[in-house]
Amino acid sequence: MKLKPMVFVLLLLLIKASGADVINGSKGLPHTKAAWVTDVGKLTVFVNTRFWGKVHQVESMQYDLPLAVTVWDVQGLFSINYGLGKHFELNITPIVYQDDQTDEGLVPYDTFIGLKIGSFGSRTNSLSYGMHLQARFPTSNKHNILFEPYSAGTAEFGFKGLVSYAADPLYPEDAFNLHANLGYHNHNDVGEFLRHARDPNSQVLYQSQQLLYALGLNIPTENFDYGIEWYGNAWLQQPPLAAESRENYLFMNAVITYKPYRWFQFFVSGEIRLNSDNDETVPPLMEREYLTDLPNYNSWRINIGSRFTLLPTSVFRTSERDILIQKAESRRELFEQIIKERRETESAEEELERIREERRKAERELERLRKILEGQSPQKQDLEEMRRQLEPKK
């Protein structure tokens, strides 16, 4: 299959089922996507796990005594990212394990497929633009999980607009960079029942819809990158009362990335929730007695992940000297392009100035002619008066 038809098919697929937020395995920060796409033919694999836990005090309804229980939230996934073309990148992210407060957990959970259309903007411009479409496919038999973003077990759809700023446009990831995302997400869940018991709180009567947003900045050094980001959501149409995680959330995440090799990166990040501990869910009676008085989003979370480059294989043989030579050659080409554009601009400006000078000359000639014509009019009047005076009186 040719590249363009394949991209077109993926685009149609993702427009029909693009989806909710999941950790970013490509360029950018864990929750803030960069507008740049992966280089053509480059294949990377991102592996990530995140966890949270708490000892929770509850009252035993049977013995009227305080009890302590441990609650937790653990997720494991990997993400495959491949550069399809100059402006296209494919992402496939299966969640291989999702805790659901049971001993078994969910293996696997859901799978995300994304298509990034980006890297738009001049090579000499610090700003880049793009869009990300993402599909969530319900590959698990259980959804509406506590402490995780809402899902009703349907194919969901949405998109995100991406903007990135780089202090070094030619090598944007080697200098200070800033990213902003804003997206829309539709859960496509009308008619679904969120509980096995079909009570009025469990049926979805309106499509659940929300806005997703993120802002992040990254400061790279030779061996480490330091980043910070803010991300959250705003519900446009909340899911029903039986839905977990039906509140708005806002997190801040601090990231440190270690880069020992060009083909390998290791990162760790810590997130804290900035909004209040609201819980608007009304669960069926006795369903989760020991989880009462807990917010639907965890108050903190730790992420640990690694990124490996698999293709092209030349990345394993390229030395630092070769990288410096490639960068110098790229910068030379960029400078030549800038000089060429400047010369073309200067030539255009010179031509414009010549046209302006010709126009000024024409205006001066017209002014002189106008003055001559205006000067002739009083002279004609004087001659006519003299002629009348000299004529013999009858």
Condensed to tens digits (0 to 9), the pLDDT of residues 26-57 reads 999 999 999 999 999 999 999 999 999 988 87
How many CA atoms does the CB half-sphere of 166 hold within 13 Å? 24
- Count Cβ atoms below 10 Å from residue 227 Cβ, excluding itself: 22
Lowest mean pLDDT among 9-13, 113-117, 240-244: 9-13
Strands 157-166 and 177-186 come out as antiparallel
The continuous run of DSSP H or E covering 381 comes out as helix 320-390
Query: How far is 303 from 193, CA to CA, in rounded Å?
Result: 32
Candidates 153, 140, 229, 227; CA nearest to 187 is 153
Please report, for the domain that includes residue 150, its CATH number. Answer: 2.40.160.40
Residues 75, 216, single domain; the answer is yes
Residues 215, 351, single domain; the answer is no
Q: Map residue 195 onto helix, strand or coil.
A: coil
What is the pTM assigned to this prediction? 0.77
Residues 314, 371, single domain; the answer is no
Residue where a domain terminates, one of 318, 339, 374: 318
- Model pLDDT, residue 1: 41
- Count Cβ atoms below 10 Å from residue 124 Cβ, excluding itself: 12
Candidates 210, 302, 307, 295; CA nearest to 253 is 302
Q: Map residue 392 onto helix, strand or coil.
A: coil
Residues 128, 237, single domain; the answer is yes
Residue 373 gets which letter from DSSP?
H
Residues 191, 79, single domain; the answer is yes
Residues 350, 250, single domain; the answer is no
Residues 195, 145, single domain; the answer is yes
Q: 19-45: b or e for each residue (b if 16 or more CB lie within 10 Å)?
A: bbbbbbbbbbbbbbbbbbbbeeebebe
CB burial of residue 110 (10 Å; 0-12, 13-18, 19+): buried
Number of domains in the chain: 2
Query: How far is 226 from 236, CA to CA, in rounded Å?
Result: 33
User: How high is the mean pLDDT of the chain?
Assistant: 83
Distances in Å between the Cα of 279 and the Cα atoms of 68, 185, 293, 296 are 21, 22, 8, 6
pLDDT digits (tens, 9 = 90+) for 108-153: 999 999 999 999 998 778 999 999 999 899 998 888 888 899 999 9
Residue where a domain terminates, one of 318, 350, 369: 318
**Amino acid identity of 249?**
Y
Query: How far is 299 from 54, CA to CA, in rounded Å?
Result: 10
Range of the domain at 40: 3-318
Residues 6+ apart with CB under 8 A from 58: 66, 67, 68, 69, 289, 290, 292, 293
Is residue 78 pLDDT above 80, yes or no?
yes
Residues 313, 339, single domain; the answer is no
Residues 141, 44, single domain; the answer is yes
Longest dimension (CA), the chain: 142
Distance between terminal CA atoms of the chain? 109
The single residue listed with the structure tokens 């970013």 is 24
CB 75 within 8 A of CB 148: yes
Distances in Å between the Cα of 237 and the Cα atoms of 134, 177, 204, 213, 246 are 20, 34, 11, 16, 10
Is residue 15 pLDDT above 50, yes or no?
no
pLDDT digits (tens, 9 = 90+) for 280-339: 887 655 455 566 677 889 999 999 999 999 999 888 877 666 666 666 666 666 666 666
Residue where a domain terminates, one of 268, 290, 318: 318
Residues 48, 127, single domain; the answer is yes
Average pLDDT over residues 145-164: 92
336: left (phi over 0), alpha (psi -120 to 50) or beta: alpha
Residues 355, 255, single domain; the answer is no
Residues 18, 129, single domain; the answer is yes
CB 237 within 8 A of CB 212: no
CB 229 within 8 A of CB 210: no
